[in-house]
Structure 1
């Protein structure tokens, strides 16, 4: 089962994803993909960590998600946008190489026998970027979101903390 949760920045995606995970498992796994860029970002990460209780197992992995064995687990992956950002910048902002690597990594990940709750950002809702690099990343994000949504059993859009199911095949 793959449940993709998407929405704008600060829309309540992570909180909704955590609630979903806890409703399905007593001991979910949290797969965190973010790098720490500055003190403000570190504080946001700490807020996320404090919100989760002892029932969570956390794995921090910036790029090579499939190197971990998630068999039989419920995994909350938070988030695709930050993970894709790591690939994009480590690949010298090469969007084609990043899309190839991301799709290959996701294929390996989704071949594991486990359930996924995946958080991503819907960047296209935020307006048109003013520089070419940001526009290329937005396009890349949109492509990987479509790739995951196509494979997902369920897709939920979060708007102002309100979940809207937009795909549910189960």
Structure 2
């Protein structure tokens, strides 16, 4: 099992970096999308990401039970933690503790699979302070889960303005 964790702000180059890394590790990587389609703008964003991944990419979608679809011995990009957590958060009616417990439990299953995982996340806590309690609780959820994933990562990368900054490297 090998785990790469790539984080950063919106439009920081996370997806591009993750895709290039995956292609350097496998001629036929997998891409796991965790997003629900929330509105037309979100659909356009998803369509753009799909267009950016022509062959040799294999694609799959799963909203919460990520370990159930990861292939043994694969190189898989998981995009992204923020949308994955949103699915738990919405389904638990914004219950921070329950969402975190469910996400950690699922992540613990992921790291038992013999595969190379490249997990993309967002550093939403570096942005504007959320104005709603729901938003502030989600920012906490994201931060705690990011820390949990980073602790288990073999390599952690922070993307800033399209440039990778290595935070951790146990390769």
Alignment of 1:1-170 (within 5 A): 1-170=2-171
The whole-number CA distance in structure 2 between the counterparts of 1:4 and 1:10 is 16
By how many angstroms is 1:72 displaced?
Answer: 0.6
Aligned-partner SS, 1:5: strand
The whole-number CA distance in structure 1 between the counterparts of 2:93 and 2:38 is 17
The whole-number CA distance in structure 2 between the counterparts of 1:44 and 1:76 is 17
By how many angstroms is 1:109 displaced?
Answer: 1.1
**Is there any run of 5+ residues in structure 2 with no aligned partner, and where?**
none
CA deviation map 1:144-163 (0-9, x unaligned) = 00000000000000001111
Per mean C-alpha deviation after superposition, the further-off stretch among 88-97 and 64-73 is 64-73
TM-score, length-scaled by structure 1: 0.98
Cα 1:24–1:104 change in 2 (3 A) is same
Contact 2:9 2:124 survives alignment (8 Å)? yes
Contact 2:70 2:76 survives alignment (8 Å)? no
TM-score, length-scaled by structure 2: 0.97
- Coordinate RMSD, CA, aligned: 0.7
By how many angstroms is 1:69 displaced?
Answer: 4.2
Aligned-partner SS, 1:31: strand
The whole-number CA distance in structure 1 between the counterparts of 2:156 and 2:33 is 20
CA deviation map 1:65-100 (0-9, x unaligned) = 111242110010000100000010001100100000
Q: Spell out structure 1 runs of 4+ moving beyond 6 A.
A: none
